[in-house]
Amino acid sequence: MTALKQWIAVTVTTIAIVGATAGCSGGQMQDQPTQEPADAKRSIQQLVDDTTDALGGTWQVEEGPRLGTCEDERGVGEGVNYTYIKSRADRGDVDQGIRTVEKLWGERGLDTKRFSDADGSYSGVDGKGDGVANIGFQSSDLGGGDTVSGTSACAAGDYVEMRERERS
């Protein structure tokens, strides 16, 4: 009987170890962000461009895509992200713009939230979701016009190394 008890103990221990290891090897347990930098850059640039195209009018690139640093959603795993900003001097139809943006971003699976100050002189919508840390459409009649700004989700990459490559 002793050999049988040993075999059972070894089998149970092995199953427990294999089960625990398998449970910890899923995508959520990675120490580093898993998205590639080129994909992060391309996706945020495409989303901002698609948003400004849907809103219509003439938009200018204000910044980016600019390389930045980030941590994953648990605060571990250093990586890189990209920020991209476009603006137009004129303020479009704010209500129509917000509806357009909510529809577009909703179709892309993003969660949206409207915002506005008390008198409506500054309003818009913010979004976030898969592949997007944040994106916003801001409209101001205080001389600011309209802006669409977005930051990609964190991607695996070495900021210092990538910055050096950009500069050379």
Q: What is the CATH number of the domain that holds 121?
A: 3.30.2030.30
Q: What's the total number of domains in the chain?
A: 2
Q: Which two three-digit tokens encode residue 36?
A: 């590639």
pLDDT of residue 142: 83
- Dihedrals φ, ψ of 9, to 5°? -65, -45
One-letter amino acid at 42 equals R
pLDDT of residue 15: 47
Residues 17 and 79 occupy one common structural domain: no
Does residue 152 contact residue 39 with C-beta atoms inside 8 Å? no
Write down the H helix ranges in 24-121.
37-55, 94-107
Q: Containing domain of residue 1, as a range? A: 1-30
pLDDT of residue 26: 38
Residues 91 and 132 occupy one common structural domain: yes
pLDDT of residue 25: 36
- Tokens 């850059």 correspond to 41
pLDDT of residue 7: 42
Residues 93 and 81 occupy one common structural domain: yes
Residues 102 and 137 occupy one common structural domain: yes
pLDDT of residue 22: 36
Mean pLDDT by 10 residues, the chain (168 residues): 47 40 38 76 97 97 96 74 96 94 97 94 94 95 90 92 88
**Checking DSSP bridges between strand 145-152 and strand 111-116, what pairing results, if any?**
unpaired
Q: HSE (CB half, 13 Å, CA atoms) of 78? A: 6
